[in-house]
Amino acid sequence: MSDKKYKDILTGHNYDGIQEYDNPTPGWWWLVFHCCIAFAVCYFVFFHISIYGWTRDEAYSAEVKRNFDKQFAALGQLEVNGETIARFLNEPQWLDVGRTVFQTNCISCHGKQGEGLVGPNMTDDRYKNIKQIGDFGTVISNGAAKGAMPAWKTRLSPNEIVLVASYVASLRGQNLSGPRPPEGDVPPPWPVPDKPADAETPAKPDAPK
Ligand code: HEC
């Protein structure tokens, strides 16, 4: 170091002829060091002790949930009936939400694609409990076969039941092969929704007119 006051003061050590100057660690280094310690203490208290500290995963889930709630708020409170379920058949954006509900709660018994497992195949034309599209709402809400198909009305909101019902109904006719043979009868085709489900939800401000 060229600074005059640090110059040439020896520590008095001597290792095989190598001597050491007593140059103190510069001020900026101590500043950074102490800032690091202060930061570590704040970090530890914030993230590991306080109730405000979020991991990135928690922050992400909270954001996803907020977004989900916002979407549901746009739908309002749906009624679980055939007309409502049919309304969403042509709404890929909402069927995606239904798919998420399905993947979270139903694939353990109905298979990843609805091809059936413990429960029946949802992708063929045959149904055990469904005579018309509204029956999806009833079966999903109340369960079937004495609880072999669980009742979901205490675990899912009406909106989630409607969307997962539409999603399951939309799987009809893909005929994916599953472990179970086709079960039940062939109900008439689902009604075609006469107006898009979004017609009643407020248009986004920047939506094209
Ligand atoms: C614990 C296993 C299990 C889970 C989880 C499950 N189901 Fe089922 N589900 C069944 C069984 C078993 C049946 C057949 C009932 C019968 O034999 O009448 C069934 C029947 C159905 C039916 C009627 C199918 C038909 O052919 O009549 C629908 C619709 C259905 N489930 C939707 C769902 C949805 C949506 C979810 C998720 C929210 C779900 N199920 C979760 C086991 C399950």
Minimum-distance ligand 1 atom for the alpha carbon of 118: 12
Say yes or no: CB of residue 145 within 6 Å of ligand 1. Answer: yes
- Which residues have C-beta within 8 Å of that of residue 148, sequence separation ≥ 6? 118, 119
152 lines ligand 1 (CB under 6 A): yes
Indicate if 172 and 124 belong to the same structural domain: yes
Would you say residue 69 lies in a domain?
A: no
Q: Is residue 65 part of a domain?
A: no
Domain match, 135 and 182 both: yes
CA of 202 to the centre of ligand 1 (A): 34
CA-CA distance, 192 to 82, in Å (whole number)? 11
CB 166 within 8 A of CB 85: yes
Q: Where do we find the tokens 């170091």?
A: 1
For residue 25, the enclosing domain spans 4-49
* CB of 193 closer than 6 angstroms to any ligand 1 atom: no
Which residues in the chain belong to E strands, given as ranges? Answer: 10-15, 18-21
The number of folded domains in the chain is 2
- Residue 92, H or E segment: helix 92-105
Question: Does residue 108 line the site of ligand 1, with CB under 6 A?
Answer: yes
Q: Return the residue whose CA atom lies nearest to atom 23 of ligand 1.
A: 129
Q: What is the pLDDT of residue 195?
A: 61
Mean pLDDT by 10-residue block, N- to C-terminus, for the chain (209 residues)?
64 89 90 98 90 82 86 88 95 93 96 95 96 97 96 95 97 94 94 64 43
Q: Is the CB of 151 under 6 A from ligand 1?
A: no
Q: Give the per-residue pLDDT at 68.
A: 78
Considering the domain architecture, whether residues 127 and 28 belong to the same structural domain is answered as: no
pLDDT at 206: 46
Q: Which atom of ligand 1 lies nearest, measured to the CA of 152?
A: 38
Say which amino acid occupies 104: T
Q: Are residues 106 and 30 in the same domain?
A: no
Q: What pLDDT is stored for residue 208 in this prediction?
A: 44
Any domain includes 134: yes
Q: What is the value of pTM for the model shown?
A: 0.70
Is the shortest distance between the CB of 163 and ligand 1 below 6 Å?
Answer: no
In a domain, 103, yes or no: yes
> CA-CA distance, 158 to 155, in Å (whole number)?
10
* CATH code of the domain covering residue 83: 1.10.760.10
In a domain, 56, yes or no: no
